[in-house]
Chain A
Amino acid sequence: MKLKTTNSKQKSVPTWCPGCGTYSVSFALKQVLEDLKIAPKNTVICYDIGCSGNMTNVLDVCGIETLHGRSIPVACGIKAVQKDLFVIAQAGDGGLLNEGLNHFIHAIQRNDPITLIVNNNLVFGLTAGQQSSATPKDATARGTNERNPISPLSIVDLAAANGAKFIARVPEGDLKLMQSIISKAIKFDGFAVIEIIQPCKIWAKDFPKVSFKNLAKPVAKQINLIGKQNLTGLLYFEGKKNG
């Protein structure tokens, strides 16, 4: 497995800002696929529209850049007819919680056997800082005149409440943990969701700290705590497979 360096120079350079969590996510993905010895031709990654979706141009797999919020439907269709492929859907918080929440809930309901990786940067980044449904309450964002008046939706809680069997929340800074969780998720037979908390280094840098603490406490009781404090003060969880 190699990072794409072919074609024009412009295309080999990722579009992410310095410090962006997507660097570590793309690196972790690359490492996991290499460790599991999965051939690039047998890996399909369906990308959302957004900064993280630009991994399309970086990872040397069967990459398919879909539409905003629509990576899950495309991934489900692929997996339905080609069971031997490793099918990953990538989503941003905007694509998952705003544009395509419908697909998230129903893929869980059907237990579609795909891996979902959510790059949660807490904000609409590519369109320059409007609040998404993951933006913390009281945060200052560019889509409202006041402080964000509404509380964020929790990806892991939505997953748990709807019966997902594999749920994980991983901080951007813990590469080892991220790799081990992605590896488990890919091998998991059923719908697996991994939320990566990677606050946008540009638009989320002034978000109130209190909200991160709230983010770290899923309310769903069926989420089985397997880890504790980590670098950014966030927790990660894995659901019981037969829960």
Chain B
Amino acid sequence: MLAYPEYPSRIRGGDNNIQIVVSQKSDLTPLEKVDLLFAFSQDLKKIHQNEVKNNGLILEAEQTGINRIAEDLKNPIVKNSAAAGLIWQLCSQDPQILLAQIKKSLASKNVGANLAAAKAGFEIKIKSKKYSLNPVQNKKISGATGNEIFAKAALAANCEYASIYPMTPITSLLSDLAKTALKMITPEDEIFAALSAVGASYAGKRALTATSGGGFCLMSEAIGFAAMAEIPLVVILGQRTGPSSGIPTYSSQADLNQAIFSTHGEAQKIVLAPGDLEEICFLTQEAFNLADIYQLPVIILTDKYLSETTFSVLQSALDKIKVKIDRGKRYKGEKNYARYKLTKDGISPRAYPGQTAFLTNSYEHDEFGFSTDEADERVEMVAKRAKKLASLKSGFEILGNKKSTDVIVGWGSTKTALLEFIFENPRFKYIHIWRPWPFPKPLQKELSKARKVVVVENNTDGQMAKLIERQTAIGAKSVTKDDGRPFYKEELAQLLNSKF
């Protein structure tokens, strides 16, 4: 199952809709045309009626009697449960399952009225074909948004501090973390959010901030600071349409360049791009390890689609993901401790305040952290930081037909859509890049074998296609979409087939 929500940037009203895709398959994509539309008003019906298949069904709250049920119960909000009851009936499902779920989900709300509404909705007699949905047997399936998994994974990684300025699409992450024991400070801006996380991390605790593209602009100096002073920092960057205020509640993948090239100077950083819930779970925990091991900022890219869509996932698959905590090289009481000691791999043992007195510096510095403007020390330190990431391996996953020379490349949230596409079009090879930066070097060899490379991404400029060209000198064709919506299944198939 997949439930993709759309909502406008306002508190109440407007076009709020959710598209639910149900299938026995695991990797799903929102559709251009649906089988069943339920509209809560005539206006909304008009807006969305063209998004229904020719043989599809369009229902509206007034005509179906949903409004009357709510009126009888004197509570307009129970229309939702009444409509759920009706849809449940049309999908030939057992009403007890729905009622049990309402009891669970709305326990703290007006549960009695909602149960009554759902029952009444289920009993509505309308002339319509029925849909048959067969449940997946014997498997425990969980539904979660990307943000919910981000929060769980951060806690699993023993993250102990977060400061987050609210901004779509990471706001629910802020609300979820606020319910936990995690130490949080309400920030005045994203500058504080990022820099206080740098402070907490410097003090020895794993720390997190999260934002969207606009807030990330303000975090740029913190990225440079963390890179220069060699302090771990994890930033979740939830992309939405830009530039500037853009369409605040809609999705985009246009901040790849901003993440990779953020801040002035040459600042070492790692950029990760998980594509589904399991990858969010793994890469978020891994991000904290990478930040600690390499002592630098790690940016995890998500977007409105991945962060706020509810996906289903096998609970056993999530449970299997266990990442051992690795805090990297640590101070062991050595005499004459130098925070930025020159080492073979460029990584210096890290002390925390409270263990010994030592200097940490945003200025160029020597091994002890003293500020310097000496040329030779500058060259040494630049080289030290530059070589830290040399040991980083992998960064992408090869899926689909591994022998094919027709290669589709994606990164981040396009993963489930592309997995569904290659499931239905098994002749293609699909490369999912989960670590755009540092750019995975073996990708050069892999792509050089291809007859044709097509990169799929939700932006206009083809940022990944251009990055690939820059890093490998291999030309790639682009399939792009940047209207705020994810790729729809029919549209993606058409676009991809036209490129090969």
In the complex the two chains form, is A64's CB within 8 Å of B192's CB? no
Residue B103 is within 8 A (CB to CB) of chain A in the complex: no
Contacts of B358 in A (CB 8 A): 62
Residue B200 is within 8 A (CB to CB) of chain A in the complex: yes
Could you name 22 residue pairs across A and B whose Cβ atoms are closer than 8 Å?
A6-B368, A11-B366, A11-B372, A41-B356, A57-B371, A60-B357, A61-B357, A62-B360, A63-B359, A65-B361, A65-B363, A77-B161, A77-B163, A77-B196, A77-B201, A77-B207, A78-B199, A78-B202, A79-B199, A80-B185, A80-B196, A82-B204
In the complex the two chains form, is A81's CB within 8 Å of B183's CB? yes
Residue A158 is within 8 A (CB to CB) of chain B in the complex: no
Q: A205 CB to closest chain B CB, in angstroms?
A: 27
Q: A67-B225, A73-B192, A74-B199 are in contact. Are A82 and B354 (CB under 8 A)?
A: yes
Residue B105 is within 8 A (CB to CB) of chain A in the complex: no
Q: Which of B174-213 contact A (CB under 8 A)?
A: 183, 185-189, 191-192, 195-205, 207
Q: A145 CB to closest chain B CB, in angstroms?
A: 30
Residue B355 is within 8 A (CB to CB) of chain A in the complex: yes
In the complex the two chains form, is B353's CB within 8 Å of A41's CB? yes
The residue on A at minimum CB distance from B193 is A73
Residue A54 is within 8 A (CB to CB) of chain B in the complex: yes
In the complex the two chains form, is A102's CB within 8 Å of B189's CB? yes
| Residue interface mask A74-89, B partner, CB < 8 A = 1 | 1111111110110000
| Residue interface mask B340-382, A partner, CB < 8 A = 1 | 0000000000001111111111110010111110000000000
In the complex the two chains form, is A41's CB within 8 Å of B202's CB? no
Q: Which of A37-74 contact B (CB under 8 A)?
A: 39-44, 46, 49, 54, 56-57, 60-67, 70, 73-74
In the complex the two chains form, is B185's CB within 8 Å of A76's CB? yes
Contacts of B354 in A (CB 8 A): 41-42, 62, 82, 84-85
Residue A103 is within 8 A (CB to CB) of chain B in the complex: yes
Q: Which of A1-23 contact B (CB under 8 A)?
A: 6-8, 11
In the complex the two chains form, is B370's CB within 8 Å of A75's CB? no
Residue B279 is within 8 A (CB to CB) of chain A in the complex: no
In the complex the two chains form, is B359's CB within 8 Å of A81's CB? no
Residue A110 is within 8 A (CB to CB) of chain B in the complex: yes
Q: B292 CB to closest chain A CB, in angstroms?
A: 15
Residue A147 is within 8 A (CB to CB) of chain B in the complex: no
Residue B51 is within 8 A (CB to CB) of chain A in the complex: no
Q: A160 CB to closest chain B CB, in angstroms?
A: 19
Residue B221 is within 8 A (CB to CB) of chain A in the complex: yes
Please tell me which one of the listed residues B229, B357, B360, B371 contacts residue A40 in the complex, with CB atoms under 8 A apart: B357
Contacts of B352 in A (CB 8 A): 82
| Residue interface mask B137-161, A partner, CB < 8 A = 1 | 0000000000000000000000011
In the complex the two chains form, is B192's CB within 8 Å of A106's CB? yes
Question: Number of residues in B with C-beta < 8 Å to the partner?
Answer: 45
Q: How far is the CA of A66 from the CA of B354 in the complex (A)?
A: 19
In the complex the two chains form, is B371's CB within 8 Å of A66's CB? no
Contacts of B370 in A (CB 8 A): 7-8, 11, 57
In the complex the two chains form, is A110's CB within 8 Å of B186's CB? yes
Contacts of B197 in A (CB 8 A): 77
Q: How far is the CA of A40 from the CA of B355 in the complex (A)?
A: 10
In the complex the two chains form, is B362's CB within 8 Å of A65's CB? yes
Q: How far is the CA of A76 from the CA of B200 in the complex (A)?
A: 8
In the complex the two chains form, is B199's CB within 8 Å of A75's CB? yes
Contacts of A6 in B (CB 8 A): 368
In the complex the two chains form, is A70's CB within 8 Å of B203's CB? no
Contacts of A60 in B (CB 8 A): 357
The residue on B at minimum CB distance from A99 is B191
Please tell me which one of the listed residues A61, A63, A73, A106 contacts residue B199 in the complex, with CB atoms under 8 A apart: A73
Q: How far is the CA of A39 from the CA of B354 in the complex (A)?
A: 9
Q: A42-B354, A54-B371 are in contact. Are A66 and B204 (CB under 8 A)?
A: no
Contacts of A39 in B (CB 8 A): 357
Please tell me which one of the listed residues A44, A54, A106, A112 contacts residue B353 in the complex, with CB atoms under 8 A apart: A44
Q: A214 CB to closest chain B CB, in angstroms?
A: 29
In the complex the two chains form, is B202's CB within 8 Å of A56's CB? no
Contacts of A82 in B (CB 8 A): 203-205, 352-354
Contacts of B356 in A (CB 8 A): 41
Q: How far is the CA of A57 from the CA of B163 in the complex (A)?
A: 30
Q: How far is the CA of A78 from the CA of B163 in the complex (A)?
A: 12
Contacts of B185 in A (CB 8 A): 76-77, 80, 110, 112
The residue on B at minimum CB distance from A62 is B353
The residue on A at minimum CB distance from B370 is A11
Contacts of B187 in A (CB 8 A): 73, 106
Contacts of B161 in A (CB 8 A): 77, 80-81
